[in-house]
Structure 1
Amino acid sequence: TLWDYLQEEIFTVEMDGEEGVKGERVTNFLAVPQELEKIIIFGVFICLDSFLYTFTILPLRAFAALAQLVSNEAHNVVRVLRGARATTRKRTLRLSHKCDLVKAAILGGTLVLLHKVTDASKMYHGVRGQETIKLYVLFNVLEIADRLCCSFGQDLQDSLFSRQTLGRRTDGSRPHLRPAALGALTLAYVVAHSVVLFYQLITLNVAVNSYSNALLTLLLSNQFVEIKGSVFKKFEKENLFQLTCADIVERFQLGLMLFIISLRNLIARSSLPSLSLLSYLPSLSPSSLPPLSLPALLSLLHQSFSPAVVVLCSECAVDWLKHAFITKFNHIRPGVYGRFVDVLCKDLVTGAGSGGGRRTHEGEPFVDQSPLVSRRLGFAALPLGCLVVRVISQA
């Protein structure tokens, strides 16, 4: 009856039987940002290691490979002059040495071509003169182009630095057309990807340094649009791992670009005679620094780095909300990010144990000696390294 219904509604004191489950959902939702930041920070350091590899280990390996090439050629010439027997084998480069020389050649060729096709000043004023709606479209186009270049470039480099391309055939002959074609395609890819990253840097610089907050607001709103495109999709754990790897690479690239922009703004606002870091650092001394009081220095740092901090914090908030709702809607516990860290650690240990690469059936390291774990993340170190060198040289 109606009276029984009213009594039940008024005097019922027992809670819902699923209160424990609902409380656990809230706890898991709030725990996602902490677990996510653990793997992102770890992944950012992996990307930093791979990025620094391009400027430290790779030049040394290329120099060692070049010295080995000269030594082999000298030995072969002496062998011919002495009339060595035909059965005596010539000295040849190891596949890893060939890979290092090809990488160094691609890096040098990309820098030469970027010097011809890119001009930061013209690109900056060209992007800055566009309308707001065009910049919004440009943001999205560059982001899509970056991800497509990463995906295609990884496959292209795997093909170029494979044993089938740089090694010998079963009959002992060497392939020539395949390495030349793949080398040209890889060079074109690295140049194209570097140009895409260059435009991303210029566009981000325009948004951060705009006199009005319209472009910066547009950039922040574009980041939050990413939530709508992700949270309502069905995700398995493998898909979530791929998304996490993409967020790691995006966080590192965004942080590096914002650091470059903020550093250039700091140097420009401090009234230094030159914007070139390379020309300023050797003459750095207390007398060469402009006289700044502590409040003026803090104000200078605030003006230079505050827009970058806002953009980076916005990116962190977007990642937290995106992953929190994805795990909530797909009933995935936050502990899955710990297993993702284990996967990256396993790749890191495996790569370090084999000299930075994978092992072949002959016991020699895999041809590509770049950090194996960065390949799982989908991090393109060569184009980003070319971008940084080009920005420093043109500063």
Structure 2
Amino acid sequence: MVRRSRYLRHSLSPWLMGTWRISWTQLSLWIGSGLCLRILIIFMQCTNHRQSTFWMKCIVEIHCGGPQHLVVRKNESECMILSSACHGDVKCAAILFQLIDVGFFVCFDAFLSLLTIMPTRILIKLWRFLTARQFKRLSAAELCDFGCFLVLACGVILLGQTDISLIYHMIRGQGTIKLYMIYNVLEIIDKLCQSFGGDVFETLFNSAEGLATCSQENMKFWIRRFVSDQALAMAFSILHSFILLAQAIALSTCIVAHNNALFALLVSNNFAEIKSNVFKRFSKDNIHNLAYADSVERFHISAFLLFVLAQNILEAQGPWFESFLFNAFVVFFCEMLIDIIKHSFLAKFNGIKPIEYSEFLEGLCKQTLNMQTEDSKKNLTFVPLAPACVVIRVLTPVYAAHLPYSPLPWRLFWIIFLISVTYVMLTSLKVMIGMGLQKHATWYVNRCRKRKHHLHFD
């Protein structure tokens, strides 16, 4: 045995010497390849009768497989309902776009009426009083005009005492997160003021009507009630004016900032609005009120952008108008996009059909035409006193900066001239907007009547 082992070792030593590592690597590859080939042969032998089925399955998946297999199959009627629902969401968005635009112009018309028609009525009443020299009991409309004018004058005077630059630098010194929180808090308070403001001024108008029609015995009671309601309306309107002014300053801070604070504010605020509204159950009346609130919000944003424009006119250096137009376009585009997305999801998850949004628009058109509706609570409620205070406070320094340096009589002349020109322009704009709203409302109401007549006939 010893001789045999020595013989084998001496006979294999030339093959092993000097080639151990290379031969070991090649041996490993040969063994691995052999094992893989053996496994493949065994697999093919075991599945030989299934080869045709395997290749047929591949062909079927190539030709028929796709994303449509990821959803649940529906019958033809369910598919038709689903298709109509998807198209209905698009129609809801289109009608919503028109509804918010009409609501915006209704708010703008009320705002211009406050600045043009109300002062005209007050001047006519004063002129009649001075010429007749005989005091008569004021009507309810005249009491409302004098009450609103008093609220507007006090609001403008108090806002004129505020230091906008101080508030601006206080807000600008905050970080982006704090700025976002400040703007959201102001927006929530603004919505609360909008909800409460209609009731406050409706109470004031009811008190004015009671004072105008009361007997002599109840005069003192109605005077006390009217004065208390007037004080409440004045305090509320002034508070709302300060909230809107602070919100306009916060938006101006975001626009002027160079760290993309505007985009961060718009993205965070708008997605927070989507989160708070979609995937929730809303009734038809709630969605109706939400659409009207979006119209009022768009008007407030327009007032904020007017504030930014006035600040740029007074303080900006260098070319700024193109940047302002771009930022204004971004703000309005984001608002429109978010409103469409929000109401599309609300319509989808609450089963709101396009015909119901059409009814919302029909109700707004009837309100424009002063037609009686089934429920007066569904009307658009907008109190333009607080935005008017902010706009007058913002535009007054712009007018003052462009007055010529001249003696006092000439300065008074230029002040009266600028006020007169502005009044004529605003009155003309109010008349044109009113005529446009009247024509659109008449056309849309007639269209809805014809549609209902055809549906009833069918």
Shift in Å, 1:169: 3.1
Aligned to 1:324: 344
Given candidates 357, 375, 384, the residue that maps to 2:387 is: 384
Q: Which amino acid aligns with 1:211?
A: H
User: Structure 1: how far apart are the matches of 2:144 and 2:151?
Assistant: 10
Aligned to 2:334: 314
Q: What are the residue-to-residue correspondences of 1:170-319 with 2, within 5 Å?
A: 170-174=215-219, 175-262=222-309, 264-265=311-312, 268-269=315-316, 300-319=320-339
Q: What is the TM-score normalised by the length of structure 2?
A: 0.66
Shift in Å, 1:36: 0.9
User: Structure 2: how far apart are the matches of 1:106 and 1:251?
Assistant: 24
1:236-293 CA-to-partner distances (Å, cap 9, x unmatched) read 221111110001111121123224414543675575xxxxxxxxxxxxxxxxxxxxxx
Given candidates 185, 190, 193, the residue that maps to 1:146 is: 190
Q: Which amino acid aligns with 2:134?
A: H
Which moves more between the two structures, 324-333 or 253-262? 253-262
Identity fraction in percent: 33
| Structure with greater Cα Rg | 2
User: Structure 2: how far apart are the matches of 1:375 and 1:20?
Assistant: 33
Q: What is the TM-score normalised by the length of structure 1?
A: 0.75
Aligned to 1:364: none
Shift in Å, 1:168: 4.4
- Judged with a 3 Å threshold, the aligned counterparts in structure 2 of structure 1 residues 267 and 314 are, in CA distance, closer, same or farther, namely same
Q: Which runs of 5+ in 1 are unaligned?
A: 77-90, 272-298, 359-372
Aligned to 1:75: 134
Q: Which amino acid aligns with 2:201?
A: Q
Tell me the secondary structure at the aligned position of residue 370 of structure 2: helix
Shift in Å, 1:220: 2.5
Contact 2:285 2:378 in 1 (8 A): no
Aligned to 1:394: 397
Shift in Å, 1:182: 1.2
Shift in Å, 1:70: 3.9
Aligned to 1:107: 152
Root mean square deviation, CA, Å: 2.9
Q: Which runs of 5+ in 2 are unaligned?
A: 1-52, 399-458
Q: As a proportion of its length, which structure holds more helix? A: 2
Contact 1:47 1:374 in 2 (8 A): no
Q: Confirm whether residue 25 of structure 1 aligns to residue 70 of structure 2.
A: no
User: Structure 2: how far apart are the matches of 1:131 and 1:250?
Assistant: 25
Contact 1:259 1:308 in 2 (8 A): no
| Higher relative contact order, structure no. (Cα contacts within 8 Å, ≥ 6 residues apart) | 1
Tell me the secondary structure at the aligned position of residue 229 of structure 1: helix
User: Structure 2: how far apart are the matches of 1:15 and 1:336?
Assistant: 27
Aligned to 2:163: 119
Contact 2:312 2:320 in 1 (8 A): no
Aligned to 2:203: 159
- Judged with a 3 Å threshold, the aligned counterparts in structure 2 of structure 1 residues 37 and 148 are, in CA distance, closer, same or farther, namely same
User: Structure 2: how far apart are the matches of 1:375 and 1:337?
Assistant: 13
Equivalent pairs counted in the alignment come to: 327
